[in-house]
Amino acid sequence: MKKILFALLFTVAHATEQWKTSSGVPVYWQYEQSVPMQEVLIVFDVGSRHFQPGHLKLMTDSMYKGSRYFSKESLKQLLYNQGIMFETTFDRDSFSLYYKTPLATDNTQFVRVLEASALSPVFPYNEVKQAAIQQYDFLRESLSSLNDVCLSATLKALFPGAPNYAASYLGKGEEIKYIHPAELKIIHKSVFQRHHAKIIMIGALSKEKARDLADKIAMKLSKNTQAPPSTESLSVTNTPQSKHIPFAGSQTRFVFSKKIPINPHSDSFPALLLANHILGEMTDSNLLNDYMRENKGWVYDINSKVKVTDDFSVLLISGQTKQSQPERFSDVILSVINKLNNGDFSEEYFKRAKSNLIINLSFNDSNTAKIFTMKQFLDYGLSPDFDATLIKAINALQLDDIVQVSKLFSTNQFYSVYVGKEK
DSSP label at residue 66: B
**pTM, to two decimals:** 0.75
pLDDT digits (tens, 9 = 90+) for 71-110: 899 999 989 998 999 999 888 788 999 999 999 899 999 9
**Cβ–Cβ under 8 Å, residues 158 and 87:** no
Question: Beta-carbon neighbour count of residue 106 at 10 Å?
Answer: 12
Residue type, 177: K
DSSP 188-226: HHHHHHSS-EEEEEEES--HHHHHHHHHHHHHHSPPP-S
**Cβ–Cβ under 8 Å, residues 225 and 190:** no
DSSP-assigned beta bridge partners for residue 300: 320
Q: What percent of the chain has pLDDT over 70?
A: 85
Of the candidates 310, 292, 299, 278, the one whose C-alpha atom is nearest the C-alpha of residue 409 is 278
Element (H, E) at 116: none
Tell me: pLDDT of 422 over 70. Answer: no
User: Alpha carbon of 132 to those of 59, 127, 174, 261: distances in Å?
Assistant: 11, 9, 14, 39
Note the pLDDT of residue 12.
40
pLDDT digits (tens, 9 = 90+) for 154-173: 877 777 666 555 555 677 76
DSSP 133-144: HHHHHHHHHHTT
How high does pLDDT run on average in the chain? 82
**Cβ–Cβ under 8 Å, residues 376 and 264:** no
Residue spans in the chain of domains classed CATH 3.30.830.10:
4-220, 241-420
Tell me: pLDDT of 121 over 60. Answer: yes
Note the pLDDT of residue 1.
36
What's the pLDDT band for 133 if we cut at 50, 70, 90?
confident
DSSP-assigned beta bridge partners for residue 220: none
Tell me: pLDDT of 175 over 90. Answer: no
pLDDT digits (tens, 9 = 90+) for 2-28: 333 333 333 444 568 999 998 889 999
Ranked by mean pLDDT, the top range of 58-62, 339-343, 368-372 is 339-343
Q: Which is higher by pLDDT, 152 or 194?
A: 152
Residue type, 363: F
Tell me: pLDDT of 131 over 90. Answer: no
pLDDT digits (tens, 9 = 90+) for 216-264: 999 988 644 344 333 333 344 445 578 888 877 778 888 888 889 999 9
Q: Is domain 241-420 in CATH 3.30.830.10, yes or no?
A: yes
Tell me the fold of 4-220. Cytochrome Bc1 Complex; Chain A, domain 1 (3.30.830)
